Amino acid sequence: MDGLLTGDERRVVGAAQHLGLILSSDWPVVAAHLLAQGADGQAVSELAGLPRATSPWCIDQLVPEVLVELGVREMPTQQASDLVARLVGPVAATRPPADEFAAIRFLARLAPALDYPGGAIGDAYVAAEWLDCECHADSPERDAAIALEKALRTPDPLDIDPGLLRALTAQWF
């Protein structure tokens, strides 16, 4: 374990992994950013040195060791979803095309694979039902979706290196 990674960085890596948001092919890039920030460990170094085209079977075997080396602890799905939600809105705002509900749509797509958890993913799943229905254009449900998207796009900031953030979220939208 090292002292240069922030607690937020450790938690976000753990949350993204828990929710299945880091593809096997993205782990070498994520590990390289962790290594550049001073993460120390055999598995982090080995994973950072692998090409993206390496077999997922080889990469996936190293991931649990990397998480142990980083001191990443397991977390409940709702806690992981709420943490990832704090990243989604600001990232969605920077990615084209500009969908006014990109953060809600992204989080809502995660719900079925995670057995419809509560928290931010559950809220987004419920809100997504009203986004494309013209009959709800001036409804309380639509207003709630607008408020949720606004809240997602203006979260409390997390202390995360911009390069690591880009590596984690490159495939999200």
Asked whether residue 1 is domain-assigned, the answer is: no
Polymer length in residues for the chain:
173
Clarify whether residues 148 and 82 are in a common domain.
yes
Clarify whether residues 94 and 134 are in a common domain.
yes
Asked whether residue 2 is domain-assigned, the answer is: no
What's the distance, CA 45 to chain centroid? Answer: 22
DSSP 9-69: HHHHHHHHHHTT-S-GGGHHHHHHHHHHTT---HHHHHHHTS-TTS-HHHHHHHHHHHHHH
Q: Which residues form the domain of 134? A: 77-153
Confidence at residue 2, expressed as pLDDT on a 0 to 100 scale: 44
Asked whether residue 123 is domain-assigned, the answer is: yes
Confidence at residue 97, expressed as pLDDT on a 0 to 100 scale: 67
Using DSSP's 3-state secondary structure scheme, residue 4 falls into coil
| Segment 122-142, tens digit of pLDDT | 999 999 988 887 776 788 888
Clarify whether residues 13 and 70 are in a common domain.
yes
Confidence at residue 3, expressed as pLDDT on a 0 to 100 scale: 52
Clarify whether residues 68 and 95 are in a common domain.
no
How many helices (H) and strands (E) the chain has is answered by: 9, 0
Among residues 15, 159, 165, which one has the least CA distance to residue 85? 15
Clarify whether residues 82 and 66 are in a common domain.
no
Clarify whether residues 69 and 83 are in a common domain.
no
Among residues 23, 10, 24, which one has the least CA distance to residue 61? 24
Low-confidence ranges of the chain (pLDDT < 50): 1-2
